[in-house]
Structure 1
Amino acid sequence: MASTVFERRRPAESVVAGALADARQGVYWIEDAPGDPYPRLTGDISCDLAVVGGGYSGLWTALLAARENPGARVVLLEGRRIGWAASGRNGGFCEASLTHGDENGRSRFPEEFDRLQELGMANLDEIEATIAELGLDAEFERNGAIDLATEPHQMEWLREAAADAGEEARFLDTAAIQAEVHSPTYLAGLLRTRDSALVHPAKLARALARACEAAGVEIFEHSPVEGIGDGTTLYTPQGVVRSQRTALATNVFPSLLKRNRLATVPVYDYVLMTEPLSAERLASIGWSGRQGLGDSANQFHYYRLTRDNRILFGGYDAIYHFGGRVRERYEDRPETFRRLASHFFTTFPQLEGLTFTHRWAGAIDTCSRFCAFFGTARGGKVAYAAGYTGLGVAATHFGARVMLDLLDGRSTERTELALVKSRPLPFPPEPAAAVGINLTRWSLDRADHREGRRNLFLRTLDAVGLGFDS
């Protein structure tokens, strides 16, 4: 079985160990975006709209609702701190795709794929416009992104993708990709000019919270919702919220609705952050366009520059724990951090001697169709959106609009989409879930070592609509 470039060109163990020696467990983004705390809920209250969850999905829902209906009482309940989970610790890639990439979208929604592409681009445009209008400090950069080929068989994939993408993308041969960003692993690239931006994840969350507050939203932190009673009565340890309507934006955490308990599973993703690069080190790799980068394997890496020229480098391992539990102890996985550091210096050997300052992880809400699903409960008084599968920074804005449409009973283009009307297949209960998920991950790794050729298990998943293509 063939090796990958990350196995053929491993750096010395001493390089990896030295780079990780002083890296501490902590989320760089969250440390870099301190914010004043919001109060806990104390006592019972009533409101027009209750939003459960203080990540992007909940924040966009609360903000859009308050702006559409300035006189309405909107309450947002967060179990810990605003943006402390996925919304504060992701890679900061703000992608237009609503379907987790073109291949996933074409295979699942062939009749409406082109329109979904247009809606996704319009959604990203609206996010950019809102950030500018409200003056949100989110370090938004509309630089585009480059998909990378690091193995020969991936070059043809990118040529085909460029042909399908039209004017919004351009194939880069070896000379052209090396002119953009210099790495000995790069064989080709696909430059996507308009469908991707970068943000500072935690700053975006904090800025959205401040915008919500300015619009009249009442935000309560450390106020976990432990259950829904009759109608839309929400129970917290400190009080009860009686709302006319409720939007559930809990994503990776267990749904308050029984019907959704098996619809998502938490998969852990891991990230390293370097110290700031000197001008000389940055010049050695180029990257003057500051695009987001990602390679084309099933087990892929994503990486980008921060405002102060650190490199965030994450991905590859995607770890599921038996029982679908979300636990803080799962965030420290030394073998994965060593693997990421090794792959980093394979990618940029000219940066040997650079150190990592932070390492962290977060849980992704994965569903079986690998893009968000939506719905209502309790006679239309409760709406939900979940299952973004790691591509929710921009898509949560679209999901917020869908939830508000559903709660208002509005028939819109969004609510009529198959994307919105259909549901993913549920995951099986344990132990079948762990067996299936880990077998899928193993098979994807084997495909990366076999020039992309998928084994019988993956082909079977493809045939029944459960296949994954990054």
Structure 2
Amino acid sequence: MSHVLHDPEHRPRLCRTAPTAYWLDRPDAPPPTPRLTGDTRCDLAVVGGGYTGLWTALLAKARFPQLDILLLEKDVCGHAASGRNGGFCSPSLTHGLANGADRWPAEIGLLQKLGTQNFTGLQNDLEKYDIDCDFARTGKVTVAATPWQAAALPGAVDLARCHGERARLLEEDELREYIDSPLWRTGMHTPDYALLDPARLAWGLRRACLEHGVRIVEQTEVTRLDAAGTGPIRLHTPHAEVNARRVALATNVYRPLLRRLRLSTIPVYDYALVTEPLTDKQLAGIGWQGAHGITDAGNQFHYLRKTADSRILWGGYDAVYHYGSRTDEHLTQRPTTFDKLATQFADAFPSLENVSFSHAWGGIIDSSTRFCMFTGTAARGRVAYALGFTGLGVGATRYGAQVMLDQLAGQRTERLLPAMTRRPPVPFPPEPVRYLGIQATRLALAREDVTGRRNLWLRTLDRLGLGFDS
């Protein structure tokens, strides 16, 4: 991939982009519910209105219909990562099979089984609650841009087959049946993968919650949690207080309400572009006839997919961490990265080099040191949390919700057996060590993409079970 920055040749293609997520830029977005202005009580309070919080509230209502459930969201449901991601929905709970097999080799069979069950359950719930989010098992193609990436793909195919996943190596003409780019000659097809519309998933879950009796208050930030003593847990908001018997925390990258979690995740900014609608001829010119998604195999990888109205979403590559774990909204716009993505898009598809982009946006990924979700409890089991999904969490958020509900109900289920749900990740160091370590890792990963060699720094992180993933 090209690394040219600020390419004036491609900048006109970005001059009319809307600075908002394509998925959220729609007239059918639901109006927000009123903020909480008076004190209230509930059986279960869910903090956070993204996928994790919405699944938690909805599945709790299905398990325990008699519960009074209150969901509190600081903005509007789905406004953050849940409405801004690429819409790739993986069966994996572990940020991919390779990550899970490396970290939990003795338990990867169970984790794969639980992931498959969750993936099927997610699809069944979409049908049960009539959530139309364009969910489709389209499959995914992983493409190699360098000889060392291509050399690794046969091993990835073997690993997938060893653990019950369908996978097939694609060489030259076979790959061109899925995508035709001068950059890619080898790929891997994994059919058990889905794409969906991220915002409509969030809005559909929100509607289902409301229809089944969940109370939702938006524009209501929870500023403090007080779980002292054995009485109700108190949640403080700017205008009212909530007393809850149980609390589920689904706050993603935002400031955690438990001190123990403050070094557990970091906010990493990811960026994407969406093209104007393309013609059938333009898509045929790059060989993209199917509905599958595509990712490349680099450390700094791209993800791309078609939308329902024949646009191409092109995102990824840069993964940006700001000193002090900043989460300012203005950081979701980064012209340097948009220039880079536009140039790389033209490198991948020369026949589309004059296509303009309609939307350019960024979002925040909550990354942990092991690149996948973790869960836990506090306040003698009355508070549960699920965080750290690291970019492949669209499907895993439903699983995290189920784990939290198991923990809060004191149920010993199969979901609580793996070490992934029993043990926390190694925390990130405090600043400035955190920032320096992350920048050193990003530089080393970029160098590996160019040379194919993993340096001493990355090998050390591998041995410690740490690292950084874009």
TM-score normalised over the length of structure 2: 0.96
- Distance between the aligned counterparts of 2:57 and 2:10, measured in 1? 44
Indicate whether 1:202 and 2:199 are aligned: yes
Partners of 1:462 and 1:468 within 8 A in 2? no
1:394-433 mapped onto 2 (5 Å cutoff): 394-433=395-434
- Distance between the aligned counterparts of 2:324 and 2:442, measured in 1? 17
Question: How many residues end up aligned between the 2 structures?
Answer: 462
- Distance between the aligned counterparts of 2:6 and 2:39, measured in 1? 60
Specify the code of the residue in structure 1 equivalent to 2:464: V
Specify the code of the residue in structure 1 equivalent to 2:66: G
Indicate whether 1:115 and 2:110 are aligned: yes
Residue in 2 aligned with 1:29? 23
Partners of 2:386 and 2:404 within 8 A in 1? yes
Residue in 2 aligned with 1:171? 169
- Distance between the aligned counterparts of 1:179 and 1:467, measured in 2? 35
1:304-331 Cα shifts (integer Å, max 9, x gaps): 1110111111100000100001001211
1:195-254 Cα shifts (integer Å, max 9, x gaps): x21111111100000000111100000010000113521011121111110000001111
1:32-181 mapped onto 2 (5 Å cutoff): 32=26, 33-166=28-161, 168-181=166-179
Partners of 1:11 and 1:345 within 8 A in 2? no
Task: Please report the RMSD computed on the Cα atoms of aligned residues, expressed in angstroms.
Answer: 1.4
Gaps of 5+ in 1: none
SS of residue paired to 1:120: helix
- Distance between the aligned counterparts of 1:150 and 1:121, measured in 2? 30
Partners of 1:136 and 1:207 within 8 A in 2? yes
1:362-373 mapped onto 2 (5 Å cutoff): 362-373=363-374
Q: 1:216 aligns with which of 213, 216, 235?
A: 213
- Distance between the aligned counterparts of 1:398 and 1:456, measured in 2? 36
- Distance between the aligned counterparts of 2:174 and 2:227, measured in 1? 61
Greater shift, 37-46 or 457-466, is seen at 37-46
Partners of 2:138 and 2:191 within 8 A in 1? yes
- The structural deviation recorded for 1:20 is 1.0
Specify the code of the residue in structure 2 equivalent to 1:176: E
SS of residue paired to 1:84: coil
1:26-48 Cα shifts (integer Å, max 9, x gaps): 11111135112212112111111
1:139-189 Cα shifts (integer Å, max 9, x gaps): 111101011111111112111111222261111011111121111111111
TM-score normalised over the length of structure 1: 0.96
- The structural deviation recorded for 1:126 is 1.0
- The structural deviation recorded for 1:6 is 2.4
SS of residue paired to 1:368: coil
1:380-414 Cα shifts (integer Å, max 9, x gaps): 00000001111111000000000000000111111
Indicate whether 1:454 and 2:454 are aligned: yes
- Distance between the aligned counterparts of 1:468 and 1:334, measured in 2? 23
Partners of 2:278 and 2:310 within 8 A in 1? yes
Q: 1:190 aligns with which of 183, 188, 191?
A: 188
- Distance between the aligned counterparts of 2:130 and 2:8, measured in 1? 45
SS of residue paired to 2:318: strand
Percent sequence identity over aligned pairs: 48
Specify the code of the residue in structure 1 equivalent to 2:224: G
Residue in 1 aligned with 2:467? 467
Partners of 2:441 and 2:467 within 8 A in 1? no
1:304-453 mapped onto 2 (5 Å cutoff): 304-451=305-452, 453=453
Partners of 2:36 and 2:240 within 8 A in 1? yes
- Distance between the aligned counterparts of 1:275 and 1:215, measured in 2? 38
Specify the code of the residue in structure 2 equivalent to 1:18: P
- The structural deviation recorded for 1:295 is 0.2
Greater shift, 151-160 or 406-415, is seen at 151-160
SS of residue paired to 2:416: coil
- Distance between the aligned counterparts of 1:469 and 1:366, measured in 2? 8
- The structural deviation recorded for 1:352 is 1.9
Partners of 2:442 and 2:468 within 8 A in 1? no
SS of residue paired to 1:270: strand
Residue in 1 aligned with 2:11? 17
